[in-house]
């Protein structure tokens, strides 16, 4: 199993991800790991419609992902992981030793005014827990960067977090 790319994006699988990022990864499977989406049949159906051509799709809870990775269910596959929170990737690394080498932080800026977060660039915001999770991933030698579109220059998240 090889993780081609992991992406943090509030909207999970949408046009930019399906048409730009997914084909660029060369992955065989796009894996959406999000408890809320995995348990919502309407959300799952819309994600399945956005599935990139030629790619298998999994829309699963974090617990299912952890169990599947521990059982080596994806042996021989190249996977593109998409989730909303860095805590998900942290748990995959900590609990299932998933070999994540690169995390692309796409769009996380759509938050309500009541949420306690800081804006690190025009598309990325982080709260205190997310900052800690990103620092954990960076500390594990994982390349974590903000980049919404392929045409944009990646910005190392370590520089943005200060």
| CATH code at position 156 | 3.40.35.10
Residue the block writes with tokens 């690394």: 93
Average pLDDT along the chain: 94
Please list, in sequence order, all residues whose beta carbon lies within 8 angstroms of the beta carbon of residue 16, skipping any fewer than 6 positions away. 106, 148, 149
Q: What is the pTM of this model?
A: 0.94
Q: How many domains are there within the chain?
A: 1
Asked if 102 and 6 touch (Cβ cutoff 8 Å), the reply is yes
Task: Tell me the residue range of the domain where 106 lies.
Answer: 2-161
Task: For residue range 36-78, list pLDDT tens digits in order.
Answer: 999 999 999 999 999 999 999 999 999 999 999 999 999 999 9
């Amino acid at each position: 199993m090889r993780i081609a790319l992991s992406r943090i994006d509030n909207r999970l699988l949408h046009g930019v991800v399906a048409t730009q990022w997914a084909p660029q990864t060369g992955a065989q499977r796009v894996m959406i790991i999000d408890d809320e989406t995995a348990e919502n049949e309407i959300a799952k159906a819309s994600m399945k419609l956005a599935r990139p051509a030629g790619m298998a799709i999994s829309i699963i809870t974090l617990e299912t992902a952890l169990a599947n990775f521990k059982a080596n269910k994806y042996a021989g596959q190249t996977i593109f992981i998409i989730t909303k929170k860095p805590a998900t990737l942290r748990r995959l690394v900590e609990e299932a030793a998933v070999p994540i080498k690169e995390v692309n932080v796409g769009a996380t800026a759509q938050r309500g005014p009541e949420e306690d977060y800081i804006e690190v660039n025009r598309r990325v915001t982080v709260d205190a827990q997310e900052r800690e999770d990103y620092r954990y991933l960076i500390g594990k030698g994982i390349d974590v960067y903000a980049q919404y579109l392929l045409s944009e220059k990646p910005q190392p998240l370590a520089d943005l977090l200060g």
